[in-house]
Amino acid sequence: MSKNDFCSGFLLWKNFSFDPSDDEAIEKASDNRTATPQDSDSKPAVTKKRKQPTECFLSQPEEKQESTVKAKKRKKKKISDILEKSAPKPGVPADLQNLLSQHFGENRSVIEIEELKLSDSCFLPANDLTHSFSSYLKEICPKWAKLRKNHKEKKSVVMLVICSSALRSLELIKSMTAFKGDCRVLKLFAKHIKIKEQMSMLEKGVFHIGVGTPGRVKALVEQDGLCLNSTKYMILDWNWRDQKLRRMMDIPEIKKETIDLLEMSIIKLCREGSVKLGLF
């Protein structure tokens, strides 16, 4: 190799050598390239954080709507609140007539409905909420003393009082002391009294007034323990309300048993004129 060739080669190598400042620029460029994906990755994280409060904000009114709906449903179930605010109205014969027509109108023919209708002549004067039980009975039964003396048939009563419970029956029996005098009153409900005991008492003795629930009276009639042919008055404890402010016809079970008892024989006897209905 000649000296000139060596010198030219050295110059070429010198021209192509890297400056340390160029290395720093390359490192900065690479740092910038690696930093850009981090910045791009951080952007969707920021957007996710922004979406979370919007989702929470939308879910809150839905929960409020559900709570308001539940509150409305609970208010509808409180029937006693509505009855407590309403003024008490005395029952009239039209109330019982409408109740019977609604009950029988669903499953009976037109002819059968006509046979079950009660005219106004079948009813006694209704209680106007000013009477006690004794004063009401004195008003509708002015000749009670004569009826009581003439009644000598067993397995029957002259007056039948129908109410919603055994406790109410006891209350009515206590409240009629001024009216009944020395006549015999029989308890006709199921609480603490077996039906066989009541049947044996009706067979052995003479009773003038029977006070009880429609279910037990119906059972006695069905088993021939009680005969209604000698009955002259049937009084429904129509206006009295229990602790839940329900009348006897507001309780589905009592309502059904009372209507069944009326259909069994009372309606027929009323249409014939032998029994009168009273709403106390």
pLDDT in tens, 105-144: 878 888 888 888 898 999 999 998 899 999 999 999 999 9
- In this model, does residue 14 exceed pLDDT 50? no
**Cβ neighbours, 10 Å, residue 113:** 13
As a whole number, mean pLDDT of residues 240-269 equals 93
Q: What residue numbers bound the domain in which 117 lies?
A: 87-279
Whether residue 257 lies inside any domain: the answer is: yes
Look at residue 113 in the predicted model and tell me its pLDDT: 84
Cα torsion 68, 73, 75, 76: sign: positive
| 158 phi, psi to nearest 5 deg | -80, -40
At position 110, the amino acid (one-letter code) is V
How many structural domains does the chain have?
Answer: 1
Q: What is the distance between the alpha carbons of residues 168 and 163, in angstroms, rounded to a whole number?
A: 7
- State both tokens at 276: 């009168």
Q: Any idea what the CATH number is for the domain that residue 275 is in?
A: 3.40.50
Averaged pLDDT for residues 87-112 = 86
User: What is the pTM for the complete model shown?
Assistant: 0.69
User: Reduced to 3 states, what is the DSSP secondary structure of residue 243?
Assistant: coil
Residue 166 banded pLDDT, cuts 50, 70, 90: very high
Q: Are strands 233-236 and 276-279 parallel, antiparallel or unpaired?
A: parallel
**Is residue 174 situated within a structural domain?**
yes
The model's confidence at residue 17, banded by pLDDT at 50, 70 and 90, is very low
Contact, 172 vs 237, CB < 8 A?
yes
Is 19 inside any structural domain?
A: no
